[in-house]
């Protein structure tokens, strides 16, 4: 990200500190009075959400506070997006498409839902097909949604076989080369990644989002 002005730094700090009224007022002033580029303001908001996500993973913020940060972002987006649409090029461009779901036999959704939330606020278009999803459910969604990334979630070690089975089904359907695959869950590590045949694994939501950002050229 380019070097920030004082106003821009304040916006990031106020969002990261969950100061909703102050952050929204500053964003409105920047957008409506000072003529700030909407895309730049949204970029700053997503940088702040990255800080919030790191704090959440470190235990500094709770899940309700994470959701509060999302509400602040939504409020600022409602101000910024009409301005983006009125400019050249139409609506705000998404970084990429991510299809996510918990594999067959796994009904845990808390971690998956947090990853979906963080992907969304980081600028991805996300399609969540829920829990206990068989390989064919992923394949049908891939054909319709055409994702850049497929994220397989599984909280239990028993999910490793389902992940391997799902990725093998992608191979048989001739889909595997169309997208990157990331896996995540409570027991996931490099051994599980290699066993399943995924491109990467995420030990937490922030790491998973960072991998997705790198794949679409939006991160280091």
Surface-to-core class of residue 176, CB atoms within 10 Å of its CB (0-12 exposed, 13-18 middle, 19+ buried): middle
Angle CA 179–138–66, to nearest 5: 80
Q: What is the pLDDT of residue 2?
A: 63
Handedness of CA 148, 197, 219, 18 (dihedral sign): positive
The 125-128 sheet, strands edge to edge: 125-128, 97-102, 149-153, 180-184, 200-202
Three-state DSSP class for 163?
Answer: helix
Measured between alpha carbons, how far is 190 from 196 in angstroms, rounded to an integer?
A: 10
Q: Is residue 73 domain-shared with residue 174, that is, in the same domain?
A: no
In a domain, 127, yes or no: yes
Considering the entire predicted model, what is its pTM?
Answer: 0.74
CATH of the domain at 104: 3.40.50.280
Identify any residues that bridge with 175 across adjacent strands, giving them in sequence order.
none
CATH of residue 31:
1.10.1240.10
Low-confidence ranges of the chain (pLDDT < 70): 1-2, 84-93, 219-220
Quick check: is 1 in a domain?
Answer: no
What's the domain count of the chain?
A: 2
Q: Are residues 144 and 55 in the same domain?
A: no
Which of 86, 108, 142 lies at the terminal end of a domain, its last residue?
A: 86
Residues 172 and 66 in one domain: no
Reading the block at residue 186, the tokens are: 């409570």
Angle between helices 63-86 and 20-28 (to 10 degrees): 10
Q: Is 91 a domain residue?
A: no
Domain that holds residue 19: 6-86
Predicted local distance difference test score (pLDDT) of residue 186: 79
Examine the domain organization and report whether 81 and 149 are in the same domain: no
Q: How far apart are CA 182 and CA 199, in angstroms?
A: 6
41 and 110 belong to one structural domain: no
From 180, 179, 198, select the one nearest 188 (Cα to Cα).
Answer: 198
């Amino acid at each position: 990200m380019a070097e920030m002005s004082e106003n821009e730094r304040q916006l990031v700090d106020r969002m990261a500190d969950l100061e909703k009224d102050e952050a929204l007022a500053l964003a409105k002033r920047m957008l409506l009075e000072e003529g700030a580029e909407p895309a730049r303001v949204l970029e700053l908001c997503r940088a702040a959400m990255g800080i919030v996500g790191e704090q959440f993973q470190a235990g500094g913020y709770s899940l309700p506070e994470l959701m509060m940060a999302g509400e602040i972002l939504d409020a600022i987006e409602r101000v910024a997006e009409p301005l983006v649409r009125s400019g050249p090029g139409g609506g705000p461009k998404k970084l990429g498409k991510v299809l996510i779901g918990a594999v067959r036999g796994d009904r845990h959704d808390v971690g998956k839902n947090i990853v979906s939330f963080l992907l969304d606020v980081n600028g991805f278009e996300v399609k969540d097909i829920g829990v206990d999803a068989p390989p064919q459910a992923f394949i049908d969604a891939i054909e319709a949604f055409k994702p850049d990334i497929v994220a397989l979630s599984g909280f239990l070690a028993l999910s490793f076989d389902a992940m391997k089975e799902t990725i093998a089904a992608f191979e048989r359907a001739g889909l595997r080369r169309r997208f990157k695959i990331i896996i995540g869950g409570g027991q996931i590590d490099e051994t599980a990644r290699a066993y399943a045949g995924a491109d990467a694994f995420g030990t937490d939501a922030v790491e998973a989002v960072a991998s997705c950002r790198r794949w679409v050229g939006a991160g280091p």
